[in-house]
Structure 1
């Protein structure tokens, strides 16, 4: 059974969906200028609460808002409401429909961003110089105060204005408000230098944090920089440079040495080596020649290739991969969701704690002064912002997804990446997963009343309409043209074989279960290959042996999984028991279950769920073609579809683009490293903040430590999160 639709039923993220979702519409918007992680969380929360919106997700990394709208007829009103929400929370953010954004505007946006950064740096330098003059030179108090005020307005005017606007809109507890209250309070109690210095270093820290986030975004984007910019379309003997999206199926394109192949197609002229590293992570180029299929995104190394286009750009492998990776962070990991909720309640709690710290002690402690305790409260406010967590954690998960894609492993979301950490059991399909799935007829054994040629011919005619690899191998061994008019009454018997009428005679071709079902006596065959028995007019005619080859790294894959702590490895196969047991023993698998139909594989998987721990996950690894029900039922479905398998890309939560089972262990290792980085950030940020909050509360900490506890910790957490992208082959 071929499935091009992902059955969203996995327990990892409650993949069940209401059937009414078929009527819903998905809309995506670019939130240009979004730089506040807290604001992103507010936009997501309020957009999701709009009547008619089934779900809303803001990806802070790619600054993208994705919404699922229940009733398409109301989408214009809903979009207008959401735009108002964005403008209320972040007035400087531009909401742009993704459908109308052209790649050409990217460079222009980067220029505007660079110009804005320059003006901000100049403003901060001028403010810092005035602050230095006021601090170093001995001036009269009025002039000194004036210089501090000018410096403060230059450095922090933007923050104060932002806080004032947010208060008017009802958005009180944000970083602008905290910094404004803290620094204005410092001025109020006569700590002018500290008020300016805290704002200055806060702004410098924020600038470095923004630069780190932007660098991180660009680094992640560059990992998937596989979209071709143009195609050389052949028209009347001439070449015309066009956008790949303008090329149609059947058009002829030419790819010169050094260029990216712009669309999926078949080579009709030329021979070359192509670099597939961008798609598969493999550094060794492979050769293509006339008749070979070629995918867009690979780089032509040396020869001139003429290609007939077989897919529109939107349907191509690269377009699917880009869409998959770009949308990966909309499926948030449980840790991300927890931190978002945590931040929502944490900041107001700290603000009220700071208020209590400033007002209560002077009333109950003898000799305590309001100026001293208000200073402590203000410092307490500075350190309270949870940006270090809200910014760095999504970056960590998306970095891990980007690093995995660089290794030829596509993970469809942070939820699946985090779930891989809890994998306890890996269940494999056999054909096309642990074996190459390339079947070859190795033996033809006819009975006395029929020749080898007649036996293979009967089997080929019987299997003509089947798309199973075994049928393909029989047709290849037959090697002659099939006259379809000879075939009547074709019937495929699931898990058994096929029945047809050929030249008026009934022909059966299938496994021993088909022979038993039809009460036909057959020969028992001891072989590691797959045996296809053939019967004509209810009489046994002989058998054909088809052999498959185990992949070179399958044994290595099983060993690697056990080394990283996987408790059990299992193989489920529709093949006969003898073949299953031999392969399982050769690879070192713990268990094997043979002669299973697709629905029986699901039943076996259900039994494995009872064996795992409450938080443990069961992975199923299949070829993405006939394993859709099991891939969907597993906690994590991994498709060994290889490059170009549309069914694999659609059907699974993780896709191994190189078709190597050993990459499953690599995916788990990447998930574990990403999780380590995320946990490091959580522990580091909370520990530092709690320590500084405690020091400030008892009078041992100042605003300087508080600034480090806010922007310093955030910057370090972002830099640490960027390590998730730098994951080499594992």
Structure 2
């Protein structure tokens, strides 16, 4: 790059001191400066021309400078090419610096892990670790893979995953997410392969996000296809029509046409718009919000309705068994044991609460048949021939099993053994403190419609919904997954009629179809099922529903900067095109204007990285 700056000085001195190319050596100096600095531009233009692609800045710059040479304006042609090359270099440095800073913030992937074996501790590549292995994580290191804490306790910094600066305290048996930083030596039993760990999934989402283009990126791509041919036609008209109408020398108007070509390069838009969306995705990830594409940012700007699942989304999702009520011939321990056997394969928070109070290893070899019925419960058969049904009140009514009074104001799990009702379990869940803030802030963000869709009973749904500020008419209870889809479709139609979008926020496997169908599907990442996370457009890593407001704010800011860049680039270029057409801008001014507006839009895009 030093040689380019030297050539720039040579061009300036030559153009000022050698007004005529007859001067010995001037011609060679200028041509040397032109071809050395512009070789890559000419080569790319020629390469694309072979495939009849003229909708690019390289073609415009090549035509403009070669035209200047033809009309004996070699000093300006050389200066334009050198300034363009210098500007492209500065622009690429700014872009690379931005991408590097974002990538470094996201680079939370350890390369090695300390494997604990009978012989001691060995440092190996993380890819060599398999589920069941035990690893040691030293103070200040990042956890390389997801697992279960074997050490008695730990304090972890999850800020890289969730954006939360406060350390999180864990005890033996708790889940540990990769990417967290430990303050003390801890041992972890690995539960997933490296490719399935939290940190890998985060990086895969961010790295693949740029493949899903925003509406503005798609617009700019299409715009460039028509914009460049239009500019070429405009330049031809400027070069040919005025000389005949005004009876003026053609060289003057050819020169003005070449000025128009220089200032019309679309690089300011082509570079800055993808960059601003990339910066928006990077900033969201630092808040613990993963966006799976730039198109999600556009959708977030249109959200007019937000629908929530209840369990694990607005409530903590960590149920606790508070009461076990057996029938006359059974004990509470027996009711819990049968329920635990049925729930052993389930990932639902209710199942986890039952298994926690059972507090024994379930013999999975006893399970013969297993069926999970969304929004109802579980049916299973043991190898001894016993049938066990565990579910809600709706479930026992469907199988027409006589049972005690229907419990509708609490979460009740009924247990049926061999078609005989043997008791029920009362389970309690708490509303997340951040749920109140989430609903309040969504209303402040002018989201007019907020609803609750849950498979829980009407009484529980209304109690939770109204407590956090959701109107009763927007609360829907006792829903099967298909019922949720039907209600979602109604909201989608209403929102579409008014140009809005519908967001659905959920966490369980039964939410996956609704998440996939919504305009913006949101999954709670820490406790969400793999199916819902895969179906989602947006993943909240710390299960804090108020992160939705962070995502909406960042999306609005990203959209605002993208619009500023478009208006700035087109506005400044339009002014310079007019100045060039009437002869008030030279090629020197044109190239400064082109490079300047590109750098301005890039710098404006970098505001999101702060």
Normalising to structure 1: TM-score of the pair?
0.76
The alignment status of 1:655 with 2:536, answered yes or no, reads no
Separation in 1, partners of 2:332, 2:149: 36
Q: Deviations over 1:23-49 (max 9, x none)?
A: xxxxxxxxxxxxxxxxxxxxxxxxxxx
Distance 1:247 1:335, change over 3 A: same
Q: Deviations over 1:151-209 (max 9, x none)?
A: 44444455445545555665555433322332343344444543333233222211111
Distance 1:516 1:169, change over 3 A: closer
Separation in 2, partners of 1:248, 1:533: 38
2:466 to 579, 585, 591: 585
Separation in 1, partners of 2:408, 2:39: 84
Distance 1:562 1:122, change over 3 A: same
2:226 to 334, 345, 353: 345
Q: Which has the larger displacement, 374-383 or 289-298?
A: 289-298
Distance 1:708 1:256, change over 3 A: same
List aligned pairs for 1:175-214, cutoff 5 A.
175-214=57-96
Distance 1:511 1:162, change over 3 A: closer
Unaligned runs of 5+ in 1: 1-120
Aligned alpha-carbon RMSD (Å): 3.0
Distance 1:272 1:446, change over 3 A: closer
1:618 to 472, 481, 502: 502
Q: Shift of residue 383 of structure 1?
A: 1.0
Q: Corresponding residue for 1:683?
A: 567
Q: Corresponding residue for 1:385?
A: 265
- Kindly indicate whether the alpha-carbon contact (under 8 Å) linking 1:520 and 1:538 is maintained by their aligned counterparts in 2: no
- Kindly indicate whether the alpha-carbon contact (under 8 Å) linking 2:212 and 2:293 is maintained by their aligned counterparts in 1: yes
The alignment status of 1:597 with 2:480, answered yes or no, reads yes
List aligned pairs for 1:468-479, cutoff 5 A.
468-479=348-359
Q: Corresponding residue for 2:132?
A: 250
Distance 1:267 1:522, change over 3 A: closer
Q: Deviations over 1:593-612 (max 9, x none)?
A: 01111111111111112221
2:179 aligned counterpart, secondary structure: coil
Q: Corresponding residue for 1:105?
A: none
Separation in 1, partners of 2:129, 2:234: 62
2:149 to 257, 262, 267: 267
Q: Corresponding residue for 1:719?
A: 603
Separation in 2, partners of 1:616, 1:435: 27
The alignment status of 1:313 with 2:194, answered yes or no, reads yes
Q: Shift of residue 234 of structure 1?
A: 3.6
Normalising to structure 2: TM-score of the pair?
0.90
Q: Shift of residue 586 of structure 1?
A: 0.2
1:557 aligned counterpart, secondary structure: helix
Distance 1:491 1:385, change over 3 A: closer
- Kindly indicate whether the alpha-carbon contact (under 8 Å) linking 2:259 and 2:586 is maintained by their aligned counterparts in 1: yes
Separation in 1, partners of 2:491, 2:216: 26
2:433 aligned counterpart, secondary structure: coil
Distance 1:422 1:388, change over 3 A: same
Q: Which has the larger displacement, 163-172 or 604-613?
A: 163-172
Q: Corresponding residue for 2:581?
A: 697
Distance 1:248 1:131, change over 3 A: same
Q: Which has the larger displacement, 499-508 or 140-149?
A: 499-508
Q: Corresponding residue for 1:372?
A: 252
Separation in 2, partners of 1:504, 1:440: 30
List aligned pairs for 1:32-111, cutoff 5 A.
none
The alignment status of 1:220 with 2:102, answered yes or no, reads yes
The alignment status of 1:442 with 2:322, answered yes or no, reads yes
Separation in 2, partners of 1:462, 1:156: 72
Q: Shift of residue 443 of structure 1?
A: 2.9
The alignment status of 1:276 with 2:152, answered yes or no, reads no
Separation in 1, partners of 2:275, 2:406: 59
Separation in 2, partners of 1:538, 1:646: 33
Q: Deviations over 1:525-582 (max 9, x none)?
A: 463x212345678776554321111001101101111111112010011111110111
Separation in 1, partners of 2:154, 2:50: 64
Separation in 2, partners of 1:687, 1:251: 60
- Kindly indicate whether the alpha-carbon contact (under 8 Å) linking 2:312 and 2:349 is maintained by their aligned counterparts in 1: no
Distance 1:712 1:544, change over 3 A: same
Q: Which has the larger displacement, 539-548 or 437-446?
A: 539-548
- Kindly indicate whether the alpha-carbon contact (under 8 Å) linking 2:401 and 2:420 is maintained by their aligned counterparts in 1: no
Separation in 2, partners of 1:154, 1:493: 70
Q: Shift of residue 655 of structure 1?
A: 0.4
1:513 to 384, 394, 398: 394
2:503 aligned counterpart, secondary structure: strand
Q: Corresponding residue for 2:489?
A: 606
Q: Shift of residue 449 of structure 1?
A: 6.5
1:126 aligned counterpart, secondary structure: helix
1:530 to 387, 392, 411: 411
The alignment status of 1:671 with 2:555, answered yes or no, reads yes
Separation in 1, partners of 2:364, 2:48: 74
- Kindly indicate whether the alpha-carbon contact (under 8 Å) linking 2:312 and 2:527 is maintained by their aligned counterparts in 1: no
The alignment status of 1:414 with 2:294, answered yes or no, reads yes
1:642 aligned counterpart, secondary structure: coil
Unaligned runs of 5+ in 2: none
Q: Shift of residue 516 of structure 1?
A: 3.6
Q: Corresponding residue for 1:28?
A: none
Separation in 2, partners of 1:664, 1:724: 18
- Kindly indicate whether the alpha-carbon contact (under 8 Å) linking 2:408 and 2:457 is maintained by their aligned counterparts in 1: no
Q: Corresponding residue for 1:545?
A: 426
Q: Deviations over 1:36-68 (max 9, x none)?
A: xxxxxxxxxxxxxxxxxxxxxxxxxxxxxxxxx
Q: Corresponding residue for 1:556?
A: 437
Distance 1:402 1:593, change over 3 A: same
Q: Which has the larger displacement, 157-166 or 195-204?
A: 157-166
Separation in 1, partners of 2:60, 2:358: 78
